[in-house]
Amino acid sequence: MDETNVEAESAAVKAMVRHHTELVARVQATTAELTRAIDIGDEDTAYNAHGILLEWGEREMLPHAAAEEAQLYRPAGAREEARLLVEALTADHQDLAALLDELRGAAGIEAATVASSLSRVFALHVEKENRVLLPFIARTPDLSLSAAVEGLVELVGDTHVHAPDESRHAHG
Ligand SMILES: [Fe+2]
Ligand SMILES: [Fe+2]
């Protein structure tokens, strides 16, 4: 990997970590709001926070997970040394989708409990991606994180990531 690639890969890791941090902050803040509202019996606020959480799950979390599976898990999982990691992360995505389904039908204290599980499982999952998956893709010469995430708002939010031309053509 030449120097341009090292820089591009490290910028891509930073962009994804930043987007992960935003996603975690949003689910944690809304879960806290829902829990507080249920605690004090503020039904309007609880109703709104529940709706915002469901919308976050459907519009942010699920598209993020789907984009990761296509752009990151598929190429990384094809490498023997990352296969089990990718299986475990994919199982997390299924657990998160199941929690979101559960949240849809939950109300009151049960909604607060499910939301808090969703928020915790999501934060732990993201931590594994940040610490293990992203560095693995970034340092593996045949894989390009910058090419995989370039232009995908589901993965890097508003941050512009540019892949060096050769990695885009070779692996995009
Ligand atoms: Fe994920
Ligand atoms: Fe992620």
Q: Are 140 and 45 in contact (CB under 8 A)?
A: no
User: Which residue has tokens 């508003």?
Assistant: 158
Q: 10 Å Cβ neighbour count for 4?
A: 14
**What percent of the chain has pLDDT above 70?**
94
What's residue 110's pLDDT?
97
Distance 36 CA to ligand 2 centre (A): 27
Nearest to 111 by CA among 120, 122, 100: 100
**How many angstroms does the Cα of residue 19 sit away from the middle of ligand 2?**
8
In order of 3, 83, 89, the CA distances from 147 in angstroms are: 16, 21, 21
Q: What is this structure's pTM? A: 0.93
pLDDT at 165: 76
> Are 96 and 65 within 8 A, CB to CB?
yes
pLDDT, tens digit (0-9, with 9 covering 90-100), for 58-83 = 999 999 999 999 999 999 999 999 99
Nearest ligand (C-alpha, residue 90): 1
* Domain residue ranges in the chain: 3-155
How many CB atoms within 10 Å of residue 40?
Answer: 10
pLDDT the model gives residue 172: 41
Look at domain 3-155 and name its CATH class: mainly alpha
Q: State how far the Cα of 109 lies from the Cα of 115, in Å rounded to an integer.
A: 10
- Mean pLDDT along residues 46-69: 98
> How many Å lie between the centroid of ligand 1 and the Cα of residue 91?
10
pLDDT tens across 82-101, in order?
A: 999 999 999 999 999 999 99
Radius of gyration for the alpha carbons in the chain, expressed in angstroms and rounded? 18
For ligand 1, the distance from its centroid to the CA atom of residue 89, given in whole angstroms, is 7
Distances (CA, A) of 88 to 24, 104, 132: 19, 25, 12
CB 43 within 8 A of CB 112: no
Q: What is the pLDDT of residue 164?
A: 87
